[in-house]
Structure 1
């Protein structure tokens, strides 16, 4: 029997109203200065004040940092790390989607290190993380990224993405309160929700899957599949938001331990070159990657079909895997995400540069149940451009 390494964030609070645990947890660290990292929209709509006001009311010195952008480029990370080092903060809180949380944990850890962020990148960096850095609390306001329970910070480069990764980037405390997601607009709910679903799907199909990650992944798929359409159409539906929040959190635990693979590997260049959101980049590629690798994992895709709400009881695994891909196509379409790269105005001329950048994502590609080489990646991008699912030969 193979050995599985399982890692989880030290402490998590989940459930409606769990934000009430923030002040008691902050008090345990007795910080003099707190840095809260969020995006300008959350500050504008007053959601960030739900974090900063209770802290200030309890006498904490809070600095709100809002220079966060979607798919943050390396320069944004460099700027925040410098700000954190110079500010002499003692606790970092990340509030928002994946970008805010990724930047917050990056700043917390690299505040105690020297040199630029670029030196710590996975693909090209030469330095290694050695210190835990500042304590960090992560509070998601979307149901999608799972950043609150992973050890990765994703940054956009000129034409692709890279990560800083180390277990020191894990949150000391994660607070997952679905009440904070009610104001998320339909388009973002759809993109982040499909992203969470993909985390679970790819974790279940990963070559690094384990019985523990399998259980988490299938439950995440069940929760998201039964609630995402309602969450998109009825943003204030409490149960749908609770299901999506729990599904995203559990999917994060699953993919952190089993990993994601081909969908994410090919989505990184798409986001890097054309600045399509991470969720949409993943969503548009999902059916094409799953269709291409289908024959390598038919039994597991039959399981996924059942978790999606289908029924494989009277089907062969091969038939069920076809139905699984069809259901994923239907789900992406139902929540309003474009069905092909051409619908995102990606030119055909870009397919080769996407392929060349996709090949570089070896950390992710290594987890695919079907090994994906350069020609495989080229075929998948072509099929996603044309809106036509093809299978590996």
Structure 2
């Protein structure tokens, strides 16, 4: 590993994982002087059972709880005044987000609202914190399947924009096998594929820090090993728990990554019908590895380590590492698709993206800071198969 001349890495998140991890919630709140948390969750039947497990963790704590469990699957800016009133009228002093996606985004946006700020105002033009974190309420995350790692970071959606405000990163994440059993397989796989792409991008980041790379290494290894096991119902709870840990680790790494070319292209692909964000990233990811491999073969070849472990990495010739990485990625996507009884596309053509849409993607990417990389990825992913 080559140490960059200068790098930035910040990860304020504390992770509590394992059996009875939820029991540490009152302790972590007490550590920051909080005694009246407002718990946010959605109304899904499975999440209601998870919410009950969270509430049970406070049974002997003596803390007063506020609960709002009617958040839908999308961010609702119009709900912010209501939630702010619930928080203030209930005398709440902290937040607990139970779930992923919109629930966590709503909790982060609520925290910004309570501080009297727009989420975009929490960082200056250089990406530095522009607001003291003391102005914010302590926030805890109860991580559940279906997330993609953004939940554990300062990334937040306000319903229109995806913003990065590191001050809004939760103080702690709780990953408990007790709430992992009831899970939608497609939702679990979708979030894990997104997190894997984020982990790989972070691992390949030329300007990335050694610490960020360590998080990315962990994320890649956990997701690749345990997602197929979770989908096969093999040691279901512990396997899902490992995948969620991988998503959280990927989020921690990706929050300090200087480039996100695969992510940005995936967002544009997700606007096309019948192609999910996770599946779109899976189409693009091997081609990004191929591009980095041509410019920095050693760095791209080192991806073999988290994918297979130290023994296989050590015995694989240097000039074969990149091709082996790409083959392993497709093997992984095939395994996931097989468990989901569907096919994860291996090219844009197979994904149903037509020539006109591809030309649109190329024109959109032409003005970006990494236009050459984007053009290579799109062109290579057009119809080329690595299988």
TM-score w.r.t. length of structure 2:
0.80
Q: Distance in 2 between matches of 1:251 and 1:108?
A: 23
Aligned to 1:109: 112
2:156–2:165: 8 Å Cα contact kept in structure 1? no
Q: Distance in 2 between matches of 1:385 and 1:155?
A: 33
Specify whether residues 270 and 104 from structure 1 end up closer, same or farther in structure 2 by C-alpha distance, changes over 3 A only: farther
1:112–1:131: 8 Å Cα contact kept in structure 2? no
Specify whether residues 358 and 188 from structure 1 end up closer, same or farther in structure 2 by C-alpha distance, changes over 3 A only: farther
Q: Structure 1 stretches of 5 or more lacking a match? A: 367-371
Specify whether residues 354 and 316 from structure 1 end up closer, same or farther in structure 2 by C-alpha distance, changes over 3 A only: same
Give the drift of 1:230: 0.7
Give the drift of 1:138: 1.0
Specify whether residues 296 and 80 from structure 1 end up closer, same or farther in structure 2 by C-alpha distance, changes over 3 A only: farther
Give the drift of 1:142: 1.8
After TM superposition, the structure 1 = structure 2 runs for residues 88-107 of structure 1, keeping only pairs within 5 Å, are 88=88, 89-107=92-110
Aligned to 2:171: 172
Specify whether residues 207 and 231 from structure 1 end up closer, same or farther in structure 2 by C-alpha distance, changes over 3 A only: same
Q: Distance in 2 between matches of 1:135 and 1:92?
A: 6
**Counterpart secondary structure, 1:38:** strand
Aligned to 1:211: 210
After TM superposition, the structure 1 = structure 2 runs for residues 108-257 of structure 1, keeping only pairs within 5 Å, are 108-114=111-117, 120=121, 130-132=131-133, 133-142=136-145, 145-154=148-157, 157=160, 162-234=161-233, 236-257=235-256
**Counterpart secondary structure, 1:130:** coil
Give the drift of 1:156: 5.9
Aligned to 2:378: 381
Give the drift of 1:137: 0.8
Q: Distance in 1 between matches of 2:322 and 2:172?
A: 38
Q: Distance in 2 between matches of 1:272 and 1:55?
A: 42
Q: Match for 2:71 among 62, 67, 71?
A: 67
Aligned to 1:50: 53
Give the drift of 1:205: 0.5
Aligned to 2:344: 338
Q: Structure 2 stretches of 5 or more lacking a match? A: 338-342
Residue deviations 1:108-156 (CA, integer Å, cap 9, x gap): 12321246x6x659999xxx96353222111110275223432211456
- Quote the RMSD (CA, aligned, Å): 3.4
How many matched pairs?
A: 365
Specify whether residues 6 and 326 from structure 1 end up closer, same or farther in structure 2 by C-alpha distance, changes over 3 A only: same
Moved over 6 A (4+): 121-124
Specify whether residues 333 and 254 from structure 1 end up closer, same or farther in structure 2 by C-alpha distance, changes over 3 A only: same
Residue deviations 1:173-225 (CA, integer Å, cap 9, x gap): 22122442332222222222222222221111002222222233223322222
Specify whether residues 266 and 257 from structure 1 end up closer, same or farther in structure 2 by C-alpha distance, changes over 3 A only: same
Residue deviations 1:306-347 (CA, integer Å, cap 9, x gap): 321173445543421111112112211210152144455444
Specify whether residues 59 and 209 from structure 1 end up closer, same or farther in structure 2 by C-alpha distance, changes over 3 A only: closer
Q: Distance in 2 between matches of 1:147 and 1:182?
A: 22
Specify whether residues 385 and 65 from structure 1 end up closer, same or farther in structure 2 by C-alpha distance, changes over 3 A only: farther
Specify whether residues 209 and 138 from structure 1 end up closer, same or farther in structure 2 by C-alpha distance, changes over 3 A only: same
Specify whether residues 43 and 52 from structure 1 end up closer, same or farther in structure 2 by C-alpha distance, changes over 3 A only: farther
**Counterpart secondary structure, 2:16:** strand
Q: Distance in 1 between matches of 2:122 and 2:137?
A: 19
Aligned to 1:349: 356
Q: Distance in 2 between matches of 1:239 and 1:266?
A: 33
**Counterpart secondary structure, 2:255:** helix
Q: Distance in 1 between matches of 2:10 and 2:380?
A: 36
**Counterpart secondary structure, 1:113:** coil
1:56–1:62: 8 Å Cα contact kept in structure 2? no
TM-score w.r.t. length of structure 1:
0.79
Residues 1:320 and 2:292 aligned together: no
Q: Distance in 2 between matches of 1:136 and 1:9?
A: 12
Aligned to 2:9: 6
Q: Distance in 1 between matches of 2:373 and 2:348?
A: 17
Q: Distance in 1 between matches of 2:219 and 2:200?
A: 9
